[in-house]
Amino acid sequence: MEKKTFVSLEQLKKITDQYPTPFHLYDERGIRENAARVRQAFSWNKGFKEYFAVKATPNPFILKILKECGCGCDCSSMTELMLAHALGFSGEEIMFSSNATPASEFQYARKIDATINLDDFTHIQFLENCAGLPETISCRYNPGGLFKISNSIMDNPGEAKYGFTTEQLFDGFRILKEKGVKHFGIHAFLASNTVTNEYYPALAKILFETAVRLKQETGADIRFINLSGGIGIPYRPDQEPNDILTIGEGVRRVYEEVMVPAGMGDVAIYTELGRFMLGPYGCLVTTAVHQKHTYKEYIGCDACAVNLMRPAMYGAYHHITVMGKEDSPCDHKYDITGSLCENNDKFAIDRMLPQIDMGDLLVIHDTGAHGFSMGYNYNGKLRSAEILLKENGEFQLIRRAETPKDYFATFDFCDVLDGMEEIQ
């Protein structure tokens, strides 16, 4: 099966005339349409808000689009908080979910009035000491054990480093309430990249039942429940995609079953989707530059794992389209590689594709989230450009490619590289 690209070969040729490969390309129309579907799926909840996970795609142009679509920001570091604040997201539009958090980051989050989502019981005292406790606070819940849906193990929260235990959560709410916190939220993330419509309703049931107990046993005023992320995308062409409208309806049914009878029908639902919001609406465009015939057939690209590390890091599958050869038979078996000095620098292994000629443009699908953002500079490689394919078919550079000057910029405090005239 073949995934369809959101960009044509003709469009790519126009882009590459101006900007060399590799680069990440994003689909504005797809992003906006998907954000509208998410809003529609949860429109039954008056207080609903999607807090986009900035770590997935930390580009200000993308964040501005999402802001126009009514989204907030889920931040996990100082620089992500700074980015959200600089783009005009107000305090209540920023959720700060961090772990092993430095005091300076809590202090900055308090300064810009972001909603803090505490990861650990000990952070209660730590936050109070370094920045003071706000009137509204959230706590991240980890129920432990295995998380199952229909007897299928989805993930193992008990092995995760995040969140309060059940006992800590109830004690934490009591302590925070005694210390003057007036309003509360609950957050949990129990499984990653689930491709099933059952995940969010199952997670919601756990959180809703916990929220009812918390209200009954601690008297806490619970204002929101944050279902966080975990809704995945079909990286493989034979996978059935999640239906966000079905997911939203599943959460609504559980809400009506658990929350409304408990007198909690005014509690807002929040989400923190990154992969689902952006993943399918980005791709990595690269050019085939070498072909190697040894024990296997290799195609060497001008992109490498520094541009997309998921295949190297996780063995993750990303579909590949050879542009202009979509209808050609996939009768050649290739390893598609980058140029790093690491044997795991492969975008595909033993992948059946059409014959690839040097100069062919390859589109590596589903890199809109956790693609560019996970990049690094190993081997002195430089991060690529990011380009936006606009709704009207035009394209816009939204991040230039790094240069050697960028790579050496952190030595600007001294003269150790003064002899390298080419980077001045």
> If pLDDT is split at 50, 70 and 90, which confidence band does 214 have?
very high
Cβ distance 312 to 344 under 8 Å? Answer: yes
CA distance 62 to 22: 19
Q: Of 220, 245, 279, which residue constitutes the final position of a domain?
A: 279
Q: Of 279, 302, 319, which residue constitutes the final position of a domain?
A: 279
Please give the C-alpha separations between residue 31 and each of 204, 214, 366, in angstroms, as whole numbers.
Answer: 25, 37, 12
Same structural domain for residues 178 and 76?
yes
Residues 6+ apart with CB under 8 A from 212: 258, 259, 262, 264
Same structural domain for residues 202 and 294?
no
Same structural domain for residues 211 and 231?
yes
In a domain, 77, yes or no: yes
> If pLDDT is split at 50, 70 and 90, which confidence band does 418 have?
confident
Same structural domain for residues 220 and 80?
yes
Please give the C-alpha separations between residue 1 and each of 4, 236, 320, 371, 423, in angstroms, as whole numbers.
Answer: 10, 9, 11, 23, 46
Query: What mean pLDDT is predicted for residues 282-298?
Result: 98
Specify the pLDDT at position 153: 61
* pLDDT over 90 at 340, yes or no: yes
Specify the pLDDT at position 419: 78
pTM: predicted TM-score of the whole model, two decimal places = 0.95
Cβ distance 294 to 247 under 8 Å? Answer: no
Same structural domain for residues 186 and 307?
no
Specify the pLDDT at position 24: 98
Specify the pLDDT at position 420: 79
Same structural domain for residues 187 and 304?
no
Residues 6+ apart with CB under 8 A from 55: 74, 76, 77, 80, 274, 370, 373
Specify the pLDDT at position 150: 67
In a domain, 203, yes or no: yes
In a domain, 338, yes or no: yes
In a domain, 87, yes or no: yes
Q: Of 227, 252, 279, which residue constitutes the final position of a domain?
A: 279
In a domain, 422, yes or no: no
Helix ranges (DSSP H) in 69-122? 78-86, 103-111
* pLDDT over 90 at 229, yes or no: yes
pLDDT digits (tens, 9 = 90+) for 237-268: 999 999 999 999 999 999 999 999 999 999 99
Q: What is the extent of the structural domain holding 123?
A: 27-279
Neighbouring C-beta atoms of residue 141, cutoff 10 Å: 27
Of 69, 130, 330, 341, the active-site residue reads: 341
* pLDDT over 90 at 157, yes or no: no
* pLDDT over 60 at 113, yes or no: yes
Same structural domain for residues 265 and 319?
no
Same structural domain for residues 77 and 94?
yes
Percentage of residues in the chain having pLDDT higher than 70: 98
Same structural domain for residues 275 and 391?
no
Which of residues 349 and 152 earns the better pLDDT score? 349
Same structural domain for residues 308 and 190?
no
Give the CATH number of the domain where residue 336 resides: 2.40.37.10
> If pLDDT is split at 50, 70 and 90, which confidence band does 164 have?
very high
> If pLDDT is split at 50, 70 and 90, which confidence band does 191 have?
confident
| Residue 341 designated active-site | yes
Same structural domain for residues 203 and 317?
no
Specify the pLDDT at position 149: 78
Helix ranges (DSSP H) in 232-286? 244-258, 275-278
88-115 exposure pattern, b = at least 16 Cβ within 10 A, e = fewer: ebeeebbbbbbeebeeebbebbbebebb
* pLDDT over 80 at 423, yes or no: no
CA distance 261 to 294: 67
Please give the C-alpha separations between residue 2 and each of 7, 240, 363, in angstroms, as whole numbers.
Answer: 14, 13, 12
Same structural domain for residues 249 and 144?
yes
Mean pLDDT of the chain: 96
In a domain, 19, yes or no: no
Query: What mean pLDDT is predicted for residues 133-160?
Result: 84
Specify the pLDDT at position 163: 95
> If pLDDT is split at 50, 70 and 90, which confidence band does 385 have?
very high
> If pLDDT is split at 50, 70 and 90, which confidence band does 1 have?
low
CA distance 215 to 170: 10
Looking at the structure of the chain, the number of domains it has is 2
Give the CATH number of the domain where residue 109 resides: 3.20.20.10
In a domain, 17, yes or no: no
In a domain, 159, yes or no: yes
Cβ distance 291 to 248 under 8 Å? Answer: no
